[in-house]
């Protein structure tokens, strides 16, 4: 079944399903850093509108009625460098991994960033998210100095768009 990408508000039903799945996966991967159930609930309470217009966009991937992925692009924020957009909340359901959805989401956000007139993309990721780090390297992102103080991040990347 085809997977459709759609921009949604983070506080919409599909947005919340996607962000909860993202937070739940991180909590499973990092039980010492992100104890459940409080961590996911706090994450959702703190973060839901960071990716809402005009500050950003959340793209949800759906296969039929099922949310199978998401990725966000943040346009504004004190820790986003001038002229850049920040890739956030990239997640793909384990049942559809290996089918190119993460690459498709990243390409979609790249086009949205270009349409918004941004000159580059930045992102951060954790040390143990090896699949994500491989994707970013494959897509032309290069490791750079930290641009934020994210306590979960160990790697920061940038990619020029023009």
What CATH number is associated with residue 119?
Answer: 3.40.630.30
Average confidence (pLDDT) over 13-24: 91
pLDDT surpasses 90 at 104:
yes
Q: How far is CA 137 from CA 26, 119, 132, 157, in A?
A: 21, 18, 9, 9
Give phi and psi for 23, each to the nearest 5: -65, -40
Rounded CA separation 21/154 (Å):
22
pLDDT surpasses 90 at 62:
yes
If you search the block for the tokens 């039980």, which residue do you land on? 31
Average confidence (pLDDT) over 58-81: 93
Of the candidates 110, 100, 101, 47, the residue with the CA atom closest to the CA atom of residue 69: 101
* Residues of the domain holding 112: 3-160
pLDDT surpasses 70 at 41:
no
Write out pLDDT tens, residues 20-37: 898 888 878 776 766 656
Q: Share the mean pLDDT of the chain.
A: 89
Query: Which pLDDT value is given to residue 87?
Result: 96
Of the candidates 66, 57, 132, the residue with the CA atom closest to the CA atom of residue 96: 66
Strand-pairing partners, residue 97, are none
Could you give the number of structural domains in the chain?
Answer: 1
Between 27 and 129, residue with greater pLDDT: 129
**Would you place residue 101 in the very low, low, confident or very high pLDDT band (cuts 50, 70, 90)?**
very high
């Amino acid at each position: 079944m085809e997977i459709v990408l759609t921009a949604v508000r983070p506080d919409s039903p599909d947005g919340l399903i996607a962000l909860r799945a993202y937070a739940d996966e991180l909590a499973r991967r990092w039980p010492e850093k992100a104890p459940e159930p409080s961590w996911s609930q706090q994450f959702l309470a703190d973060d839901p509108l960071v990716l809402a217009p005009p500050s950003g966009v959340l793209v949800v991937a759906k296969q039929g009625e099922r949310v199978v992925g998401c990725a966000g692009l943040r346009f504004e924020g004190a820790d986003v460098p001038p002229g850049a957009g920040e890739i956030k909340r990239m997640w793909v359901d384990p049942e559809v991994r290996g089918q190119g959805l993460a690459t498709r989401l990243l390409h979609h956000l790249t086009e949205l960033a270009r349409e918004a007139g941004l000159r580059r993309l930045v992102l951060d990721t954790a040390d143990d998210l090896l699949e994500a780090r491989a994707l970013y390297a494959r897509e032309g992102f290069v490791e750079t100095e930290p641009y934020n103080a994210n306590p979960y991040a160990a790697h920061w990347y940038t990619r020029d768009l023009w």
